[in-house]
Structure 1
Amino acid sequence: MCLICSNIIVVNAYSVLMSDNTNIKIDDSRNITLAVPLVSDEFKKVQKYETIHNRTSDFLLFTLVNKAYLNLTCNWLCNVAEFENDIIARTLIVSLDSNICLTIAKQWPEVECIIFNSTDEYNQPLKWGHQDYINILTLRMQLMRILADIPFVLFETDASWLRNPMEFFNNQTLVDDADIVVPIKGYLDKGQTYTFDPMIVYPTSSSKMLFQLMETRLLANSKLFDQDLLDDLCRTQYNGVICRQFEWNDIADGKWFKLAESERSNIRPYVVNNNYYVGVTNKASRQALNGLWFLSPRGICIRSKVKNMLKKYSSSENSSAKN
């Protein structure tokens, strides 16, 4: 059954897959086993992403969130609502919890939100590297493969957008015939350089084959990280795929938070990812300490805080915030 209410869609889309036909242990202390969420045929029929693309004729912005990410998601929406280019109207949020879509609709009714019915365990704060966390990344890969027929940008809502990146994203097509564009790591570990988001995806045959292979391998190997697999396939140029990278000064990661204010003044990133920091509460606290938290204690968007932040990080002649 598919229930549509305004811009909220509820789909009974949850079915399960036990990778390698084995139980997946999430946490020995809880003694819980969970299955990898598998996108159903019914969910694939929901063409909301095409509606957004046809309406904006530009990149769709896509993210997957769970209940624990409610406040981080609302904070991101508050952040980008001040930008031009109708960023809110081109955003598609797939939520594992209905409350997120209902809460978003109250303040940002333009946002398209699809509820992907899941188990309660997947709506808890997920620990990085644990099996439930990896399973959600595998679900996200399935959704990305479905979206691969249109140009889109994968993003995470714990990031801060210091400047409007949409024109910057659009200009990436002027460089060469890239299939995807992803950030570069601020810290190089294990020899990896490719990170996962924000990711610009162009609907090319190579990007589609890349995502199809990634989906297949992730579903077959419950321990495999999407980022590790992407790094390997991009390095080897699987099937001729061209993976380009943003400059770190344009799309920064958690290393930015470690910089002194004087060092930050020398770079002007569009997006700062809130990684290298574990835990939803810790991520929110980190944003608050850096003037990047815009919600009141009751979860209401405080626009004045956003405007002050944008004024700080955007030059007056190049600001793309609304007046």
Structure 2
Amino acid sequence: QELSGWRASLSSWGLVDVPIRFEQAVVESEKIEKLSISEEEMEDIMHAARLINSHLLEDLDDIPLIYVTIINNAFAQITENWMCNVQPFETILDRTLIIAGSAQICDKIIEKYSEVACVPLSLPSSYNGNFEEKPEHRRLFTAFRLKVMENLVQNGLNFVFFDTDSIWLRDPSELFTNVTQIQNVDLVVGSSLNEVDRPFSSDPLLIIANERTESFISESRRLIE
């Protein structure tokens, strides 16, 4: 739109009447890369998880629980700190499956902690960084992680899903095992510090594989996507 006709009001001031034009700015929305996982990558994850599970079945009388986390490159150093933190706990690292955003991360992890299973993914570069200013990427990455969890459940694998940006003050294995002894428990979530608005936390998330937890994860993923 053009604003003019100010001659009468401006001429007495000795100012030049210059039309002012306002143009509507067109902001092109950021193109979000598609985030997917190949059949080969998913099978590599399931193979690693089944291998850990088979070792646990040989050594334990209780329900086997795999510890699973999915990270991108931004969490590489944090994950190393977590592994250093839990290394004194003898029952953690040998049942841990880390699904990482690149082969370089897995190589570095295995070099220092050979007892850990690590499966690399080929994540797009836009998903391999910090999501602090990328809420849409965070949402899609969360749905991506739920897809992996859904496949773990479909393969009959019980697991504890967790993030590595927390400090474990002691070995939680006994606590998790005791929970699995309670009848009719399919899923256990952590408690949040914000007891009013968000009383629950998904870190950690203990899941017993069955049709009910599969439906829960599938519906959660659908709502997020």
Relative to the length of structure 1, the TM-score reads 0.55
Q: In 2 relative to 1, CA 49–70 (structure 1 residues): closer, same or farther, beyond 3 Å?
A: same
1:184 equivalent to 2:191? Answer yes
The CA distance in 1 between the partners of 2:81 and 2:28, in whole Å, is 31
Matching of residues 1-323 of structure 1 within 5 Å: 32-46=30-44, 47-57=47-57, 58-85=64-91, 87-127=92-132, 130-148=135-153, 149-190=156-197, 192-219=198-225
The CA distance in 2 between the partners of 1:173 and 1:152, in whole Å, is 11
Superposition deviation, residue 212 in structure 1: 1.9
Q: Could you tell me which residue of structure 2 aligns to residue 321 of structure 1?
A: none
Superposition deviation, residue 109 in structure 1: 1.3
Q: In 2 relative to 1, CA 181–30 (structure 1 residues): closer, same or farther, beyond 3 Å?
A: farther
- AA matched with 2:180: T
Superposition deviation, residue 80 in structure 1: 0.9
The CA distance in 2 between the partners of 1:134 and 1:32, in whole Å, is 15
The CA distance in 1 between the partners of 2:48 and 2:28, in whole Å, is 37
The CA distance in 2 between the partners of 1:213 and 1:116, in whole Å, is 24
For the residue of structure 2 that corresponds to 1:161, the secondary structure is coil
Superposition deviation, residue 42 in structure 1: 2.5
Cα deviation digits, residues 193-245 of structure 1 (max 9, x gap): 222110110012211111122223333xxxxxxxxxxxxxxxxxxxxxxxxxx
- AA matched with 2:83: L
The CA distance in 1 between the partners of 2:169 and 2:184, in whole Å, is 27
- Name segments (4+ residues, structure 1) moved above 3 Å: 29-32
Q: Is the contact made by 1:67 and 1:97 (CA closer than 8 Å) also made in structure 2? A: yes
Where structure 2 has 5 or more consecutive residues not aligned to the other structure, the ranges are: 1-26, 58-63
Higher alpha-carbon Rg: 2
Superposition deviation, residue 187 in structure 1: 1.1
Where structure 1 has 5 or more consecutive residues not aligned to the other structure, the ranges are: 1-28, 220-323
For the residue of structure 1 that corresponds to 2:148, the secondary structure is helix
- What is the RMSD computed on CA atoms of the aligned residues? 1.9
Superposition deviation, residue 36 in structure 1: 4.3
The CA distance in 2 between the partners of 1:162 and 1:30, in whole Å, is 47
Aligned residues: 189
- AA matched with 1:52: I
